[in-house]
Structure 1
Amino acid sequence: MAPTPIDRLSDRQKECLRLVWRHQSSKDIARHLGLSPHTVDDYLRKAIRTLDAADRIDAARRLHEAEVATPQSLMLQPQIVAEAAFFNAVSPPDKADAWGMAGHGQDGLGDISTGEPAPLVPLPRPQTGERNDLSATQKLARIGAMGMIWTGVAIAAAGGLAALKYLIR
């Protein structure tokens, strides 16, 4: 039997894709795995190419779907349980269905007796074409407020530099 594209992924590529599926940035993945962000990006680029995916999220989704069809290893359980607890903490109990936690216990941690984790939350895809509901006046007010904030920051910075110059004399 010929190996599937998933089978051709290295263990490190799979680890990186699993962490992408869990909403981690390259910097966070690098910190977690003890690698540099550039190395993580390299693993992800190669995985995207191997899977012929559109992007890192698509590649992570493909790996996730392949692994859901087969049992996941137990070494991933603690992180999955911790993330389910996080999503349960930030999501009110009545929103458990929106996080995909329905039917996995009230705490959203999954079925501990069988070791089955709660499903992970898929990464949101940006939607294009959304309209801004602010009126022109509201937009100008926000632009003006931001201008005042940046003016204040510039004045504070200039004052700090003037004070530093005075102290150095």
Structure 2
Amino acid sequence: MDDSGSHPLEDEERWKRLTDKQRACLDLLIEHKTSKEIARLLDISKHTVDQRLTTARDALGASDRNETAVTYRRLKQTYDRMTYDAVGIPPTPTLVRSEFPDGSPPNLMELQDSSELPGRLSSKRSPFGDLLRPDHNSAGRIGITLALIGVIVLISLGGLSIGQTLTELLTR
């Protein structure tokens, strides 16, 4: 026997005899709500609340309303445990290897941008963006090559016309 004088098997049977509707009323009862307040909160009649609490009192083997609340609270703490969804539990943090071999705090003057560490992408971006990435497909490479040739041709023709214009201006 435990401190309450009841057997765990009897307690489990008492808990299983309660319906969800009775538990809803009992949950509000242990919050010190009156039957009228419980009825308003659950949108049922006061008579229905009293009937559910009386049936629950009989199922729990209590003698009055207060004993019913005390017994229900004790059983709720034992049998109404919340199970946690693994999705809601954050992953266990892992330790990260320190860059400082002796474990001493870093000298702030010697720290460098972490993006320039080996194995990480540099924060310095190419002026051409993703144009020079090595993983383009064949069609992409041909398109880029043709575009670069076109730009070079336009620059050369533009350079020639500027040269011709300057030559004409100087000869006059």
TM norm structure 1: 0.40
Bigger Rg, which one: 2
